Amino acid sequence: MDQKLLEELKKIIGGDVVTDESTLVEYSHDASLFEVKPQVIVFPKDEEDIKALVRFVNKNKTEYPELSLTPRAAGTDMSGGAINESIIIAFGKYFNHTPKINGNIATTEPGVFYRDFELKTLEKNIIFPSYPASKGLCAMGGIFNNNSGGEKSLQYGKTERYIRRMKMVLSDGKIYEFKKLNKEELDKKMAQKNFEGKIYRKMHRLINENYEAIMRAKPDVTKNSAGYFLWNIYDKENETFDLTQLFTGAQGTLGLFLEGDLELVPIKEHRGMLIVYLKSNAYLGRIIDEVLPLNPESFESYDDNTLMLALKYFPEFAKQLGPLGMISAGLAFLPAFISFFTGKRLPKLVLQIDFASDNPDEIDEKLRTLREKIKPYHPFVQTAEGGEEKKYWLVRRESFNLLRKKIRNKHTAPFIDDFVIKPEHIAEVLPKVTDILKKHPEFMYTVAGHVGDGNFHIIPLVDIKNPEVRKAIPEISDEVYKIISKYKGSITGEHNDGIIRTPYLEEMYGPKIVKLFEETKKIFDPENIFNPGKKVHGNLKYAMDHLRTNW
């Protein structure tokens, strides 16, 4: 950054302004396969710093058009959402005050790690049920702004369902609070003569004038993080208008999130799990049809490659369970070990079906019913109750992390990592997608996912320096996202658009809806100061030019 500009920035910020090379390199990455070097990292101390940053960019934007602000919490974004070229606002250092819990509402700041947030909620025996698998690594800013979801989203839905209030700094450099408004409150807001009034008037008009098209565009799947969620704002029947639904999942492209309220749910006392090993995917569709009506809390899956990896690195996996847990996990996976070491085929797919209730009899009944119902498909089945489920969860949750850490010379490349289709299409779509990958032997991959939601995480392992790999990434993406759009799915259920998927939003939603996304961005951020290149005006060439060159 220009020295004069940097000096000006340092003068107005109470927190830290950092430009040393190692910090810049650290913040050039998130958990995506991209690398974009910023000019400055600002660790804001308080709300005054955030307002000052927006004023600073507005004031200097004409002379320095490349200036922008990209918020970041823990930096575990897999889409490239948390990296950019200009100023990164790192919320983790100071915006991490202990969350407050009042009844079933938690108030939190963006820099609070989810793991610390959960410790607080568990004290009251309540939980935020849309935590992601990265629960040990990520922070609340990313959860709100990616609309994160996870293993319990099948029953509880995603973050969007739990947000009750968001405090934001908008592009005029002022702080506003957003929550669901009734008609009278909305009319009052729209009558205001300030920036907030203008936003409400313009968004109300945009949604009203395009209501049918917007409602039709809502993806017909249970989970979605793609685009701006225009269909969630205006509830015509109940006459409510809620702009928190627009900021949710917007990846910091419409404003900077300072504080928010989340509704929490009670934890169910008892749980029981059925683990189903399938030799092929042939009966998957029918098994899904039997499972979903029993309303499991989660319904997860992983493939033979994931299982192989877990067996190969078993001691590291299992040490998280302690010595006794290690032995019982060893016994639980014994059949798989025997197949593995005797060269027999491992099960093609492992399904984990988890039931939760305050009534233990209900769980027993569901486990029994499900065993009976799936008997005709001859799977091998195990039951886990009373805490035994942990070892199975470990394989499911840790598989991506293991891939990231363990395989030498190869790295995880999330680019078709999070698509969603209706569960009835899984048996048809999944082989089509894996067939595309099979044409590229340089891509090793595992498939794990939230099968009950039709949400799959396919994360290839690649040598990113290999030119064949770099060439194939957009080719595979094009093919896969065409299929997903044809089946009216979503290109991302949880991980969001970022650098990698913004260019595919038009394929998914069509030009009219993308135009509405662009108008929305313009209403909130007319000078494009917030996280440019994400959600609107994505560019596949830019993405490919910023693939990591090493790890």
Ligand X SMILES: Cc1cc2nc3c(=O)[nH]c(=O)nc-3n(C[C@H](O)[C@H](O)[C@H](O)COP(=O)(O)OP(=O)(O)OC[C@H]3O[C@@H](n4cnc5c(N)ncnc54)[C@H](O)[C@@H]3O)c2cc1C
By CB under 6 A, name the binding residues for ligand X.
Answer: 30-31, 70-78, 81-82, 91, 110, 132-134, 138-139, 141-143, 145-146, 148-150, 251-252, 256-257, 400-401, 494-495, 531
* Two tokens, residue 144: 């709100």
In the bound state with ligand X, the residue whose beta carbon lies nearer, of 28 and 357, is 28
Least distance to ligand X from the beta carbon of 482, Å? 24
In the bound state with ligand X, the residue whose beta carbon lies nearer, of 32 and 477, is 32
In the bound state with ligand X, the residue whose beta carbon lies nearer, of 354 and 494, is 494
- Which residues contact residue 285 at a Cβ distance below 8 angstroms, ignoring those fewer than 6 apart? 423, 424, 426, 427
Least distance to ligand X from the beta carbon of 149, Å? 5
In the bound state with ligand X, the residue whose beta carbon lies nearer, of 251 and 446, is 251
β-strand partners of 276: 351, 381
Least distance to ligand X from the beta carbon of 132, Å? 3
Least distance to ligand X from the beta carbon of 375, Å? 32
Q: Counting beta carbons within 10 angstroms of the beta carbon of residue 546, is it exposed (0 to 12), middle (13 to 18) or buried (19 or more)? A: buried
55 residue type, one letter: R
Least distance to ligand X from the beta carbon of 507, Å? 21
In the bound state with ligand X, the residue whose beta carbon lies nearer, of 108 and 210, is 108
Least distance to ligand X from the beta carbon of 59, Å? 21
Nearest to 141 by CA among 496, 504, 437: 496
Least distance to ligand X from the beta carbon of 495, Å? 5
Least distance to ligand X from the beta carbon of 208, Å? 27
Q: What angle do CA 105, 108, 114 make, to 5 degrees?
A: 100
Nearest to 18 by CA among 87, 68, 112: 87
Least distance to ligand X from the beta carbon of 323, Å? 26
Residue 197 near residue 478, CB atoms below 8 Å: no
In the bound state with ligand X, the residue whose beta carbon lies nearer, of 412 and 477, is 412
- Which residues contact residue 550 at a Cβ distance below 8 angstroms, ignoring those fewer than 6 apart? 464, 465
In the bound state with ligand X, the residue whose beta carbon lies nearer, of 68 and 485, is 68
In the bound state with ligand X, the residue whose beta carbon lies nearer, of 117 and 333, is 117
Least distance to ligand X from the beta carbon of 113, Å? 8
CA distance 349 to 256: 42
In the bound state with ligand X, the residue whose beta carbon lies nearer, of 68 and 357, is 68
Q: Give me the long-range contacts of 515-519 (CB less than 8 A, separation at least 24).
A: 516/206, 516/210, 516/213, 516/214, 516/230, 517/227, 517/228, 517/230, 519/206
Least distance to ligand X from the beta carbon of 195, Å? 18
Number of H helices, E strands in the chain: 23, 22
Q: Indicate the helix (H) or strand (E) that contains 494.
A: none
Nearest to 520 by CA among 246, 133, 310: 246
In the bound state with ligand X, the residue whose beta carbon lies nearer, of 200 and 524, is 524
Residue 71 near residue 525, CB atoms below 8 Å: no
- The SS3 of residue 117 is helix
Q: What does residue 472 show for φ and ψ, rounded to 5 degrees?
A: -75, -25
* Two tokens, residue 415: 């680019």
Residue 539 near residue 533, CB atoms below 8 Å: yes
In the bound state with ligand X, the residue whose beta carbon lies nearer, of 177 and 365, is 177
In the bound state with ligand X, the residue whose beta carbon lies nearer, of 411 and 495, is 495
Least distance to ligand X from the beta carbon of 396, Å? 10
Residue 217 near residue 228, CB atoms below 8 Å: no
How many CB atoms within 10 Å of residue 534?
Answer: 28
* Strand order through the sheet with 69-72: 16-18, 40-43, 87-90, 69-72
- Which residues contact residue 534 at a Cβ distance below 8 angstroms, ignoring those fewer than 6 apart? 80, 81, 251, 252, 253, 497, 498, 499, 502
* Two tokens, residue 24: 């810049």
Q: What does residue 81 show for φ and ψ, rounded to 5 degrees?
A: -65, -25
CA distance 357 to 389: 15
Least distance to ligand X from the beta carbon of 334, Å? 28
In the bound state with ligand X, the residue whose beta carbon lies nearer, of 186 and 448, is 448
CA distance 121 to 125: 6
Least distance to ligand X from the beta carbon of 168, Å? 8
List, in sequence order, every beta strand (DSSP E) within 2-130. Answer: 16-18, 40-43, 69-72, 87-90, 100-102, 105-108, 126-127
Residue 422 near residue 489, CB atoms below 8 Å: yes
Q: Which residue is nearest to ligand X (CB)?
A: 142
In the bound state with ligand X, the residue whose beta carbon lies nearer, of 244 and 357, is 244
